[in-house]
Amino acid sequence: MILLYKGRGIARGTGSGPLLISPAPISFLSGVDPESGIIVEKGHPLNGRSIAGTVLVFPYGKGSTVGSYVLYALSQNGHAPAAIINAEAEAIIATGAIIGNIPMVDRIEFPPGTLKDGIRVTVNGDSGEVACETS
């Protein structure tokens, strides 16, 4: 069964992958290794996890505007997320997703318990839709 949710498209394109969910904001400058795609921020709930090829869900970004260029670098070296879902997009992450060609949406009202790490999701940044595969 596929559940379809509608939000706001931020960065165009379509990306699919397993969900990786962070309850905490992410700083791409010094919080994510641009060479490997691994979260390196000490104390972050996803510290040590790779974001490469995932549909990365987090509330919003934090940190310097250089974070946009880290997202671009991740895209260029093949370690970017397949797509991004934010509760609320902000300029740093949105810019990085756009220049890195990473589909991105925000403002989606998921029912509690819908999102679980590892489920397969497709994000359509053109339409703002997210399709979640359930068992």
Tokens encoding 135:
């068992």
Residue 13 to residue 32: CA distance in whole angstroms: 23
List Cβ neighbours of 117 (8 Å cut-off, separation of 6 or more). Answer: 18, 19, 20, 21
Q: What is the DSSP letter of 41?
A: -
Q: Which two tokens stand for residue 54?
A: 């995932």
- 27, 30, 36, 64: which is the annotated catalytic residue? 64
129-133/104-106 β-pairing: unpaired
Task: Report the alpha-carbon distance of residue 3 to residue 73 in Å, rounded.
Answer: 32
Q: Which two tokens stand for residue 52?
A: 């490469």
Annotation says 16 is catalytic:
no
How many beta carbons lie within 10 A of that of residue 35, not counting itself?
Answer: 10
Which residues belong to the active site? 64
